[in-house]
A and B are shown apart, each in its own frame.
Chain A
Amino acid sequence: MSESGDHVTTRATEQPAPADETSAEAVETHPPHSPVTPIFRVRDLNVFYADFHAVKDVNLIIAENEITALIGPSGCGKSTVLRCFNRMNDLIDIARVVGDVRYHGTDLYAEDVDPVEVRRRIGMVFQKPNPFPKSIYDNVAFGPKISGFKGNLDELVESSLTKAALFDEVKDKLGDSAYALSGGQQQRLCIARAIATSPDVLLMDEPCSALDPIATMRIEELMQNLKQDYTILIVTHNMQQAARVSDKTAFFNVEVDEGGQRTGHLVEFDETGKIFTNPAQPATEDYITGRFG
């Protein structure tokens, strides 16, 4: 992985060749009328689990400092696609990722790219809050410590917890076990932990599905503040949540072939306002209006 300085250069010189443009798929991969700085560029992404073709031909451009929601029915491949953005699929032996995933113009799957470094820059928050069985402080300090952080750890812990809108609630009990926190607080702690390693992307896989409505609203509000500093991709079953929090929405659907194999694909990707008021594809409208899925 090249350093951020190189990214700027890479990005500036990375002009899409005309051939690339004409080879664009039938699916519109870049919402019209939105001048954005792409942070990810996904081209012809296919994911297989052994012989199972999980996701087919995904083309996407993800904008920097925006919240992009991936929605769709179960089995549509949205979580699989999310995990491609920080190579989490590497951890599944039978998973095979084919296609091009570029992060600031750099091929994330190139041989010389260190997946650990990828995951430091592209953090992840999971469905169930999963703090380490350690103190609140150590949960946040752990990542920076093992990656050789040399600065003031106390300050880093405080600023990470502050960004995650948790500091005020825990500042007097940083030594307490993370398990003593409520579910919503644990999830914000996990966000603080992800932030502590200075990523520029946060991937969130159903981050609120284990939380009550108020805790959910707090996380959503937090996301609105975080997007000033981070690019956020969120997978959610809750399409109202996608409607509330995201700038862009990608709708995935699943198709079943003659052999009964279910493969996910991207149906529509556009401004969230457009998707929820006037989607271009009938399948999107059927899904968001609750007519199927």
Chain B
Amino acid sequence: MVLEHPQDETRHHFTEILHEIQHGLVRMGSLVEENVLRAGSAMVEGRIGLVEMVRNADEPINEMYARLERQTFETLARQQPVAGDLRFLVATTRILYELERSGDLAVNCVKVLDRLHGLPEHPELNATLRQLVAATVKVFRMGIDAIADMTDDAGVVIEQADDEVDDLVSEYYTTIAQVSGDIGLDAGIGLSRIGRFLERIADHAVNIGENVQYIVTAEFPGDTHAALTDED
């Protein structure tokens, strides 16, 4: 297993490769988290200037995805991993996908912002969106921490934390519906999509947690494969 090895273990070199991949996941996750925050600032504070930065910041994330996937693939081919090592590497390919998609969703948020030339100024909407961004980032960060700490109940814990995001998204949709007359259909649809993107980012964090739990315990929470409960 990734974090727990005896000091005098025989396959030190292999363990180093696994650690390198684990650190890579954490670094990539941190970049995504940073970009979700950046997209959030762009939306909540109306900083259109950040739009281009968010787009550009997705490039190194995609490069890391490609590099880590290649490294994982090569390690599977070369090191004949079994047991916890095998679960870690297989789950890594899934976690990489979750991270990469989350990065794309941050970009999708600012694309809406760009298309609408800024979000409509509406204090109540803005306050809910601000809360939603904060809750999403909090849940996403839990996913990254789970990768770093390899916590055995990450799936369950993050799923619970995700309830707050789901509640806020519902609240956000209700508010959009209430003010749709003021802001217009186009903006209403755009804002709804942003709500959906943020909700999905948090869902990806839940999947990351489930995969971490799988690495540590060999079982998905509730013995349900993450992909079976997924919706996109």
A residues at B contact (CB < 8 Å): 214, 217-218, 220-221, 224, 240, 243-244, 272-273, 276-277
Contact = CB atoms under 8 A, between A and B. Distances in A.
Interface residues of B, number: 11
A9 to B, nearest CB: 35
A277 B80 contact: no
Contacts of B13: 220-221, 224
For the complex of A and B, the 7 pairs showing the least CB-CB separation, nearest first, are A243-B78, A217-B10, A273-B74, A224-B13, A276-B77, A277-B77, A240-B80
Pick from B10, B14, B73 the residue with the most CB of A within 10 Å: B10
Given A221-B10, A243-B80, 5 more contacts: A221-B11, A243-B77, A244-B78, A244-B80, A273-B78
Contacts of A240: 80
Nearest to B75: A273
Interface of B: 10-14, 73-74, 77-80
A218 B8 CA distance: 11
Contacts of B77: 243, 273, 276-277
Contacts, number: 30
A251 to B, nearest CB: 15
B79 A244 contact: yes
17 contacts: A217-B10, A220-B13, A221-B10, A221-B12, A224-B12, A243-B78, A243-B79, A244-B78, A244-B79, A272-B78, A273-B77, A273-B78, A276-B74, A276-B78, A277-B73, A277-B74, A277-B77
Contacts of B10: 214, 217-218, 221
A116 B198 CA distance: 71
A243 B10 CA distance: 17
Contacts of A217: 10-11
Nearest to B74: A273
Contacts of A218: 10
A15 B74 CA distance: 34
A105 B14 CA distance: 35
A244 B13 CA distance: 10
A243 B79 CA distance: 7
